[in-house]
């Protein structure tokens, strides 16, 4: 898993501040937007954060990509297994199922069960990819052959959204209720990209403590 910034609205925070002051034209070009953006966040004036955009590249598995693509306020471009050959698998670290919450797991699985799972995954990856390559060799279309591949097959996504959408996404997906692999992606974006490129907004959200940018 890794993430990378592709683009962000130039001077994004100043742009948001400029648009937020649309009804105060005499003060519209004021470069000091810290207090204004903090006020907007505190009072739920979220529409102003739609005035800037950010695009992030995410490299992950098909299983986690399916969760990310559910965020419909974003626009996406994803690596197409119909067009190009799939290559590689994401590492999977097994966890124990929470018997009370079907959407939760614990990182305390028995050592023997972890070792068994690791062996099975390696064999599954080897076997499925071998069959996938054989299918392509036989002339089977990529769009058909891809069904032989498991959910941990690597994929790449470009995720584009307004700063408002990114705030909501990061608040939701850094929560412990989110699957660990998805949490890791959201935290990498939150601390490695968002908080570095949008320090004023991050500080107003309480996200900027100790961020090494």
pLDDT in tens, 32-78: 999 999 999 999 999 999 999 999 999 999 999 999 999 999 999 99
Max alpha carbon distance in the chain (Å)? 70
Rounded to 10 degrees, what is the CA torsion of 180, 94, 159, 48? Answer: -10
Catalytic pick among 62, 146, 164, 173: 173
Quick check: is 131 in a domain?
A: yes
Q: Is residue 84 part of a domain?
A: no
**Smallest Cα–Cα separation from 194: which of 1, 27, 4?**
4
Measured distance CA(46)–CA(40) in Å, rounded: 7
The mean pLDDT of the chain is 94
Give the integer Cα–Cα distance in Å for 20 and 36: 8
Can you read off the two tokens belonging to residue 163?
């700063």
Indicate if 104 and 130 belong to the same structural domain: yes
Contact 199, 212 (CB under 8 A): no
**Same domain flag for 62 and 24:** yes
The answer to whether position 211 is within a domain reads: no
Give how far the C-alpha of residue 92 lies from the chain's centroid of Cα atoms, to the nearest Å.
Answer: 17
Domain extent, residue 122, equals: 96-148
In angstroms and rounded to an integer, the radius of gyration of the C-alpha atoms of the chain is 21
Are residues 168 and 104 part of one domain?
Answer: no
- Concerning whether 126 is annotated as a catalytic residue, the answer is no
**Residues 6 and 72 occupy one common structural domain:** yes
User: How crowded is residue 142: how many other Cβ atoms within 10 Å of its Cβ?
Assistant: 16
Residue 200 lies in a domain: yes
Instruction: Out of 5-19, 21-35, 112-126, 156-170, pick the least confident.
Output: 21-35
Same-domain check for residues 27 and 46: yes
Asked if residue 106 and residue 74 are part of one domain, the reply reads: no
| Domain presence at residue 213 | no
Q: How confident is the model at residue 7 (pLDDT cuts 50, 70, 90)?
A: very high
Is there a single domain that holds both residue 6 and residue 74?
A: yes
Q: How many CB atoms lie within 10 A of CB 210?
A: 6
In a domain, 86, yes or no: no
Based on the domain organization, do 67 and 161 belong to the same domain? yes
**Percent of the chain, pLDDT > 90?**
84
Beta-ladder partners of 61? 154
71 and 11, same structural domain?
A: yes
Identify whether residues 73 and 158 lie together within a single domain: yes
Whether 87 is in a domain gets the answer: no
The reported pTM is 0.91
CATH assignment of the domain containing 26: 3.30.1360.170
195, 179: one domain: yes
What pLDDT is stored for residue 114 in this prediction? Answer: 95
- Does residue 134 sit in the same domain as residue 158? no
Q: How far is CA 64 from CA 96, 153, 198, in A?
A: 18, 10, 26
Helices 34-42 and 12-20: crossing angle in degrees, nearest 10, is: 70
Domain count, the chain: 2
Name the percent of the chain in helix, strand, coil, to the closest 5.
50, 15, 35
* Residue after which a domain boundary falls, among 124, 148, 172: 148
């Amino acid at each position: 898993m890794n993430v990378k910034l592709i683009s962000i609205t130039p001077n994004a925070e100043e742009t948001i501040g400029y648009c937020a002051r649309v009804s105060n034209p005499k003060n519209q070009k004021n470069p000091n937007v810290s207090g204004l953006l903090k006020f907007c966040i505190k009072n739920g004036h979220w529409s102003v954060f739609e005035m800037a955009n950010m695009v992030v590249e995410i490299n992950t598995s098909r299983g986690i990509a399916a969760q990310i693509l559910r965020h419909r306020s974003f626009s996406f471009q994803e690596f197409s297994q119909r067009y190009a050959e799939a290559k590689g698998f994401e590492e999977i670290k097994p966890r124990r199922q929470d018997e009370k919450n079907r959407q939760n797991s614990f990182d305390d699985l028995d050592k023997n069960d972890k070792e068994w799972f690791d062996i099975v995954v390696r064999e599954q990856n080897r076997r499925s990819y071998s069959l996938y390559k054989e299918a392509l060799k036989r002339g089977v279309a990529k769009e058909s052959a891809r069904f032989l591949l498991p959910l941990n097959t690597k994929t790449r996504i470009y995720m584009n959204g307004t700063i408002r959408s990114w705030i909501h996404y990061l608040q939701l997906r850094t929560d412990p209720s989110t699957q660990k692999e998805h949490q890791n992606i959201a935290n990498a974006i939150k601390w490695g990209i968002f908080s570095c490129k949008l320090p004023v907004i991050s500080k107003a959200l309480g996200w900027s403590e100790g961020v090494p940018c």
